Amino acid sequence: MHNTYKTNVEIDWCPGCGDFGILNALTLALQDLRIPNENVVLTGGIGCSSKIPHYVNVYALHTLHGRSLVQGEAVKMANPELEVISVSGDGDGLGIGSAHLVAAGRRNLDMTYMIFDNGVYGLTKGQASPTLPYKENIKSLETENIKFPVNPIFLALASGYTFVARSYSYNIKHLKETIERAIRHKGMALIDIMQPCVTYNNINTKEFYDKRLYDLEASGWNPVVNKGDDPSVKISQAVQRSMEWGDKIPMGVFIQYERETYAERLSTLIHGYGTRNMVKEPIDQNGKPVANIQEVMESFF
């Protein structure tokens, strides 16, 4: 079947870049889910990965460095009927945009956040990013990395994400399925995608991941919290699994549970929120405002 989710814009990623696999998996997932193109909004930040909105034939917001997720959240709040997917690089999402990453967990909007995780700031020539392991000395660095890495899975679990997964850009089948599960999940979903940078990161390469990544769920882990169960028990087990890094690295879904979405909570404050479409609601009639403020003015007499 023809992939109607790709644009014909020329792609400027390096040959062999892990981003290509993510682009393919994402557009295949959208194709599978049959979401009309015009109902999807894709946001990106700044960096190689964040250019992906240009390559996907949906409404695209190429935002500022670190602001992909927060803009995606606002799109979802403004029009909950839209399917919103935000993408970031690890620098974009876990460095400059980390405040939004944490706050998004607290909101739990029904949307998807994908982090293209390659350990480097590619577009600025390979500086260490927040996920580059301690003491690694990849070829683009002058000195070894003296900072500890952040653990995106652990951070997402702690922040309240109700769906947290890891996948891999060279395993398109797994990634496509994970994206579909994330989109179907009702709540804030995060996918941390292992994505080798062929130009600057000569340690966390395809060879590195191919022999280390194993399927967490195939090995017996069930990430789903049954409805009505307290998720905290499974979250703490998931935290433990998130600490695995070394010869064996787990990929798959770490946690999935249901909790009130932000739309549901907003509807308790704003009557009818989520049932009315604020975008389509007219605010004027032949240029005259629809809102009647007479009573409000009189409240100040």
Partner 1 sequence: MKKDLNLMVAGPQGSGINFTSDTFAKVMARQGYYVYTNAELFSTIKGDHSYFRVRVSDQKIESYSERVDILIPLDAKSVIIHKGEVSDDGMIISEEKVDDKRFATISYRKILESVATKFNKNVSELNVMKNTVSLAAALKIVGIESKNLKDVITENFASRKIIAEMNNAVVDEVYNEFSFNKTFSLPPVEKKKRMLINSAEAVGMGKVLAGMKFQSYYPITPASDESNYLETLMDKYGFVVEQTEDEIAAINMAIAAANTGLRSSTSTSGPGFDLMVEALSYSGMTETPVVIFYYQRAGPSTGMPTRHEQGDLKFATTASHGEFPRVILTPGDNTEAFYDAVDSFNIAEHYQLPVIVLLDKSMAMSNTTTEVFDLSGVRIDRGKLVLNETSNYKRYKLTEDGISPRTVPGVKGGIFTIAGDEHEEDGHIFSEDPDNRIIMMNKRMGKMNLILKEIGENKKVKFYGKPENKKVILSWGSPKGAIKDALESFPDISFLQVRMIEPFPSEEVMKYLKGKYVIDIEQNYSGQLADLLREKTGIVVDSRILKFNGRPMAYEELMDAIKKAQTEKKVVLSYA
- The residues of the shown chain that bind partner 1, judged by CB under 8 A, are 9-10, 12, 36-39, 41, 43, 51, 53-54, 57-64, 66-67, 70-75, 77-79, 81-82, 99-100, 102-103, 266, 269-273, 276, 278-281, 283-284, 287-291, 293, 296-298, 300-301
Non-local CB neighbours of 6 within 8 Å, separated by 6+ positions: 23, 27, 55, 56, 57
Non-local CB neighbours of 194 within 8 Å, separated by 6+ positions: 18, 117, 118, 166, 167, 168, 169, 204, 209, 213, 249, 251
For residues 1 and 293, which CB has a smaller minimum distance to partner 1 in the complex? 293
Alpha carbon distance 111, 71 (integer Å): 12
For residues 27 and 71, which CB has a smaller minimum distance to partner 1 in the complex? 71
For residues 2 and 280, which CB has a smaller minimum distance to partner 1 in the complex? 280
CA-to-CA separations, 276 to 81, 89, 101, 281, 284, in angstroms, rounded? 10, 34, 28, 8, 16
Q: How far is the CB of 104 from partner 1 (least distance, A)?
A: 9
Say which residue the tokens 């803009």 belong to: 71
Q: How far is the CB of 238 from partner 1 (least distance, A)?
A: 24
For residues 106 and 211, which CB has a smaller minimum distance to partner 1 in the complex? 106
Token digits for 85? 């997917």
For residues 36 and 246, which CB has a smaller minimum distance to partner 1 in the complex? 36
For residues 247 and 298, which CB has a smaller minimum distance to partner 1 in the complex? 298
Say which residue the tokens 């990929």 belong to: 251
Q: How far is the CB of 293 from partner 1 (least distance, A)?
A: 5
Q: How far is the CB of 277 from partner 1 (least distance, A)?
A: 8
Q: How far is the CB of 269 from partner 1 (least distance, A)?
A: 6
C-alpha 223: how far from chain center: 18
For residues 76 and 174, which CB has a smaller minimum distance to partner 1 in the complex? 76
Say which residue the tokens 């390659």 belong to: 118
Q: How far is the CB of 226 from partner 1 (least distance, A)?
A: 32
Alpha carbon distance 160, 70 (integer Å): 16
Question: Phi and psi for 142 in degrees, rounded to 5?
Answer: -80, -35
Q: How far is the CB of 258 from partner 1 (least distance, A)?
A: 23
Alpha carbon distance 29, 172 (integer Å): 10
